[in-house]
Amino acid sequence: MGMVGGGRGAFIGAVHRMAAAIDGQIELVCGAFSSDAEKSRLSGEDLFLPADRVYGSYAEMIEKEKALPANERMDFVSIVTPNHVHFPPAKMALENGFHVVCDKPLCFNMEEAHELAQLVKDTGLIFALTHNYTGYPMVKHAKQMIANGTLGEVRKIVVEYPQGWLSTKLEDSEQKQASWRTDPSKSGIAGSIGDIGTHAENLAEYISGLQIKELCADLSTFVPGRQLDDDGNVLLRFNNGAKGLLFCSQIAVGEENNLRIRIYGTKAAVEWRQQDPNDLVVRHLDQPMQVLRTGVGDLAAAAQAHTRLPAGHPEGYLEAFASIYRNFAKHVQARLSGEEVDPVYDFPTVEDGVRGMQFIYKVVESGQSDDKWTTFE
């Protein structure tokens, strides 16, 4: 793995490195860790990388790595920069024959999203998007329950992602994460919707197997002087006729990362919370409520394939993140060996990224419109 971004002072880069290392399938061999060449060099020293594999720019890294023998060069690029710096290194990596793992959302705007999707199609290279919440074992089990018809026909989906960390104008301090996420020149056209609303959208579609068909959005910016939304409420219509509600907020005081989803069918319902990830609550029409647990009982094959620890040990954020990297690695290894990969080892793709970008644009469009419903194409 070669990394773009994630140097000193960054948050998500360290998460990616830890997640990639958990299963022992991926080694960090090089990086361009900052647009500041000296900061990149120092970050490489922190990670004990050889000086000649630490680069001053992503372009230098891709060019010099491509020139190395096949058994020495990086196999893929991991992009862990703010949104506005996703597209250029992803495009260059694909054009030079490297697979890509990219943080979400996919890129800065829809034009970039469509170009990346076309590049992936044209090159046949592997592209993963780190919607990491899809990697939890009980998320996999809930998805399989719905696919098996255990819930019957899905009628209603309620998904929420409240945080409280931006309840004040934190971006006016030196808090790096707040400053770029609230800056439209770096984050794009949306704030909370792009940052965490896309996680909720992706999780709802992933577990249910459905797609959003129409939406009606109400976006707000509660903190005075903030340029992007910090709260969003979206009514959803799915392609099977189900109705839904998505809300995300970064001004919900006291909330941490309380991602929660409830899916109601004609026979049963499921509920999953990211802050209690080992539990999957199942409610039936005519039976007592059940709480299924990670590592206990006859769970779906995909859930078992994503369970690393004995029952009772929390399978958390890093492990779910690691599942994206491990599954991606399996696909890269299979490409090199000419083998097939078991479909339980899935991961979000560039197509999921395009849908996430379209979701952002359609929510903003709906929030600014007097029309009640906006078509999600």
pTM of the complete model beyond 0.85 = yes
pLDDT, one tens digit per residue, over 38-59 is 999 999 999 999 999 999 999 9
pLDDT, one tens digit per residue, over 68-94 is 999 999 999 999 999 999 999 999 999
Position 67 scores a pLDDT of: 98
pLDDT grade, residue 366 (50/70/90)?
very high
Position 222 scores a pLDDT of: 98
Residues of the chain above pLDDT 90, percent: 97
Average pLDDT, the chain: 97
Q: Which amino acid is at 102?
A: C
Position 144 scores a pLDDT of: 98
Q: Which fold has domain 2-129?
A: Rossmann fold (3.40.50)
Position 174 scores a pLDDT of: 84
**CATH 2.40.10.410 given to domain 134-315+322-345+352-367:** no
- 32-36, 75-79, 174-178, 261-265: the lowest-pLDDT one: 174-178
Determine the Cα–Cα distance for residues 275 and 343; give it in Å rounded to an integer: 27
Q: What 8-state DSSP symbol labels residue 217?
A: E
pLDDT grade, residue 9 (50/70/90)?
confident
Count other C-beta atoms under 10 Å from residue 55's C-beta. Answer: 23
pLDDT, one tens digit per residue, over 290-315 is 999 999 999 999 999 999 999 999 88
Position 315 scores a pLDDT of: 83
Determine the Cα–Cα distance for residues 209 and 206; give it in Å rounded to an integer: 5
For the chain, the domains span: 2-129, 134-315+322-345+352-367
Residue 122 makes CB contacts below 8 A (sequence gap 6+) with: none
Determine the Cα–Cα distance for residues 92 and 74; give it in Å rounded to an integer: 14
Name the strands in the sheet holding 99-102, side by side, starting at the edge strand that comes first in the sequence: 30-32, 2-4, 76-79, 99-102, 127-129
Contact 116/353 with Cβ under 8 angstroms? yes
